[in-house]
Chains A and B, each alone.
Chain A
């Protein structure tokens, strides 16, 4: 079992729809990243959060540390939002504090 699980793996939406991508993790963490990866492209960090909620434009990220769960929401989705969205966590123990542990990603396709 992966330490970081995302759902769904694939998501197809119509332009304008509200989208939610979920991330659950099984380890203690100090912070969580939401990342965006376009086909053939590098990875862009959207948010890093350790509690509560952050908003940037049409993107909202929330985290519940007690429930070990985070969500990424996209309001008024647009075809340019089509990408792979990856959840990654910083563990808060031992020698793994320097690196991120990644989920497998959620592939989002927004149709016009």
Chain B
């Protein structure tokens, strides 16, 4: 499978717990993006990496959110002290510069 892979597919957590999601992009892609999507809305940009450098972060990304791409390959998105408002689909995408933009299937987070 050469697509973008996200794990886990679903995550249910209690409020206040920390969660971490993983994204494995297409191996040739230098750019990796994280988005959040709530029901009935389009995806909202969170952050993106070019290789291992985090080049842009949305103001949506509070200090409880952190993302890494340590070797310029896979990336992790961690949410600390989860809140019910964090419940959403978290989407990862990758591209080579702006070409071949490919999304993963997403991780659905439910905070109870």
A positions within 8 Å CB-CB of B:
4, 31, 33, 35, 41-45, 48, 86, 88, 90, 95-96, 98-105
Q: Give complex CA distance A98, B53 in Å.
A: 12
Which stretch, B14-22, B43-51, B62-70, touches the partner chain A? B43-51
B104 touches A102 (CB 8 A): no
Residues on A with C-beta less than 8 A from B93 are 43
Say which residue of B45, B91, B99, B103 sits within 8 Å of A44 (CB atoms).
B103
User: Mostly helix, strand, loop or mixed at chain A's interface?
Assistant: strand
Say which residue of B33, B58, B91, B103 sits within 8 Å of A45 (CB atoms).
B103
Count, chain B residues at interface, CB 8 A: 24
> Top 6 closest A-B pairs, CB basis?
A102-B42, A42-B105, A43-B103, A99-B45, A98-B48, A104-B42
B106 touches A42 (CB 8 A): yes
Say which residue of A42, A98, A104 sits within 8 Å of B33 (CB atoms).
A98
Question: Most chain-A Cβ atoms within 10 A of its Cβ — which of B93, B99, B101?
Answer: B101
Show 14 residue pairs from A and B whose CB-CB distance is below 8 angstroms, ordered by the A residue.
A35-B103, A42-B91, A43-B91, A43-B93, A44-B103, A45-B103, A86-B42, A96-B56, A98-B31, A98-B48, A99-B58, A102-B35, A102-B42, A104-B42
